[in-house]
């Protein structure tokens, strides 16, 4: 398996554990969904809201570098999120300015991509092992989205119909983890940069260990 994919999956699992207050051993690695609890109480699928052209460039780099490049592009993106406390401490929020201002068309592209991934994964949910509760964890590929942008995603989720649907959709945007539940108010969880850095290191170790195990199978 692509090491960057393993890293993303384990980071999502660790982040959800901490932000949603799950026991660290509650979710175990699986396939379709990516994580599942022992007795089927909860399953969680992980996906990236990646722009197709950028994802292809990253895949080409991973194929070129092979084992020498353990998902570096995604890791660097997550490491950048670990600076969030420093940014706030330096007064960026006090000035009433966005930490990272995206051009309007680029912002629309990222919002649209998050919605597309939610829609695609929801359509595929019936093919997964369904649990009593099913979650989707989505990595946004930018830190430039704000709460108002996620309210649009919430409206998209509220408009979903049919079955099955995800019970919770977790969308990671920088330091924030937005929690979307159909027809409920949007909520969010913020972890400190110190905690995010620990999650990064743990996810890297787990993904490398899993990658080595798969090679020997």
**pLDDT higher for 58 or 72?**
72
Tens-place pLDDT, residues 114-155: 999 999 999 999 999 999 999 999 999 888 899 999 999 999
| Domain range annotation of the chain | 3-215
Confidence of residue 203 (pLDDT cuts 50, 70, 90): very high
Tens-place pLDDT, residues 90-118: 334 444 444 557 889 999 999 999 999 99
- Order the strands of the 27-29 sheet from edge to edge: 27-29, 35-37, 42-49, 133-140, 168-173, 176-180, 187-190
Tens-place pLDDT, residues 142-188: 888 999 999 999 999 999 998 999 999 999 998 899 999 999 999 99
């Amino acid at each position: 398996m692509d090491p960057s994919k393993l890293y993303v999956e384990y980071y999502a699992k660790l982040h959800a554990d901490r932000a949603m207050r799950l026991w660290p051993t509650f979710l175990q690695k699986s396939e379709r969904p990516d994580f599942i609890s022992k007795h089927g109480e909860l399953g969680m699928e992980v996906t990236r809201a990646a722009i197709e052209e950028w994802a292809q460039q990253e895949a080409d780099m991973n194929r070129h570098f092979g084992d020498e490049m353990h998902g570096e592009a995604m890791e660097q993106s997550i490491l950048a999120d670990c600076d969030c406390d420093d940014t706030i401490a330096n007064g960026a929020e006090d000035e009433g300015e966005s930490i990272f201002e995206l051009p309007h068309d680029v912002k629309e592209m990222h919002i649209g991509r998050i919605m597309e991934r939610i829609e695609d994964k929801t359509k595929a949910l019936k093919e997964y092992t369904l649990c009593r509760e099913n979650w989707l964890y989505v990595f946004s590929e930018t830190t430039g989205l704000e709460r108002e942008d996620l309210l649009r995603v919430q409206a998209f989720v509220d408009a979903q119909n049919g079955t099955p649907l995800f019970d919770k959709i977790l969308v990671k945007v920088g330091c924030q983890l937005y929690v979307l539940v159909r027809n409920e108010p949007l909520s969010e969880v913020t972890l400190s940069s110190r905690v995010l850095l620990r999650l990064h290191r743990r996810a890297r170790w787990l993904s490398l260990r899993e990658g080595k195990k798969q090679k020997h199978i």
